Amino acid sequence: MSPTRRIVIMAEGHFEWHYGKTATGIIRYSQDPVVAVIDSTHAGQDAAQALGGDLGRGIPVVQDIHEALRYQPTTLIIGVAPIGGDLPRAWRAQLLTAIEAGLEIISGLHYFIADDPELRAAAERRGVTIWDVRRPPDKKVVAAYKPHRPGSHTVLTVGSDCATGKMTVAIELDRAARARGLNSAFFATGQTGIMIAGRGLPVDRIISDFIAGMVEEMTLELAAQHDWVFVEGQGSINHPGYSPVTLGLLHGSLPDAMIFCHQAGATTIEGYPHCPLPPLPRLIQMNEEVVNWLHRQHNSKVVGISLITRGLSLQQAEEAIRRTEDETGLPTTDVLRFGPEKLLTALLQHFGAATS
């Protein structure tokens, strides 16, 4: 994203950790300043108070776009990910006001703002840019099953459910790798990651026949330039609604290793109370099996686990990590609470690379 942007995030009624994960991701990782968040249910607080933590301290949460304009934003980002991805009807007037004020619009919804006749016409009159992040490239690519460049390492984040931190872990590992002087890249595959990285593939909008092929194409491109490629995972192979996109990512990226992401204490798929989660060792085995149906070396492994321990005390988080390590035999951490170094070290050891 351009360093000239001043961002206001639209998160009306959803400025929280789950459905507001785009908002929290932008606040945490964007190189551009977030000057305000719109959510009337938390107006008058700052973002940290609304989220119940430290993230977003000093960023005001405001009533509406009119109040947000006082902070001189240049860009409005839609910062929620509702089921179905439609544009809430009540937001239309606020978007029109933002466009009239000259704000660039960035949206990760499945509903394309630029295809809306009223919003598109308003943007054209004002000379405003609309970026629908989920609009897929206009191309069709079927997987060719090509090998990655020898010496490169592709790492995919997988998980037990949606919203288990797969993007966060991939970004944190990429940053940690580059801090160690490694030649590393982050491959964004979802709307928030693309907003942060400025490029990527919106895999949940690509026709199913072409998911694996387009992921393969970009993985090969990145692996040709970088020794480490950290691919952002989506959904989960055991998810009743979103497993197809997960399968496309597994077979398209054909990772040499995986990091498994899980919400500590979760026992069912979120929103599906009658869909219990298998034990973690079985979930890990499932992902390894699916990759190794096609992986040429047949040795792709999950080499570490990242837990979300938000809401747990420090002692409870450490106990959850110990239990997970005992259950799986794999190094485990919470990358936001304790950093990604344990996982990066596990990856380096797995590939026989130096850990200094």
Q: Using one digit for the tens of pLDDT, what is the confidence trace for 74-87?
A: 999 999 876 667 88
**Could you count the other beta carbons within 10 Å of the beta carbon of residue 319?**
14
Strand partners, 158: 260
Average pLDDT over every residue of 329-343:
98
In sequence order, what are the beta bridge partners of 268? 276
| In the predicted structure, residue 2 carries a pLDDT above the cut 70 | no
Q: Is the pLDDT of residue 355 over 60?
A: no
pTM of the model as a whole:
0.94
Is residue 108 scored above 70 in pLDDT?
yes
Q: Give per-residue pLDDT as tens, 113-169.
A: 999 999 999 999 999 999 999 999 999 999 999 999 999 999 999 999 999 999 999
- Rounded average pLDDT over 27-55: 96
Whether 194 and 188 have beta carbons less than 8 Å apart is answered as yes
The stretch 296-316 carries a mean pLDDT of 94
Residues 312, 114 contacting (CB under 8 angstroms): no
Query: What is the arithmetic mean of pLDDT over 192-205?
Result: 96
State percent of the chain over pLDDT 70. 97
Lowest pLDDT segment from 79-88, 205-214, 222-231? 79-88
Residue 205's closest CA among 108, 80, 105?
A: 108
At residue 356, the pLDDT reads: 43
Q: What angle do CA 307, 308, 312 make, to 5 degrees?
A: 115
- Give residue-wise pLDDT tens across range 231-274: 999 999 999 999 999 999 999 999 999 999 999 999 999 999 99
Mean of pLDDT values over 338-350: 98
Return the pLDDT at 85.
Answer: 76
Tell me what the mean pLDDT of segment 283-311 comes to.
Answer: 94
pLDDT at 89: 87
How far lies 151's CA from each of 229, 232, 291, in Å? 11, 20, 19
Count how many residues are written for the chain.
356
Q: What are phi and psi of 265, to 5 degrees?
A: 90, -10
Say yes or no to pLDDT of 3 above 60: no
Asked if pLDDT for residue 181 goes beyond 50, the answer is: yes
End-to-end CA distance of the chain: 32
What is residue 353's predicted lDDT score, i.e. its pLDDT? Answer: 67
Residue 1: pLDDT over 50:
no
What domains can you pick out in the chain, each with its CATH number? 7-132 (3.40.50.720), 153-350 (3.40.50.300)
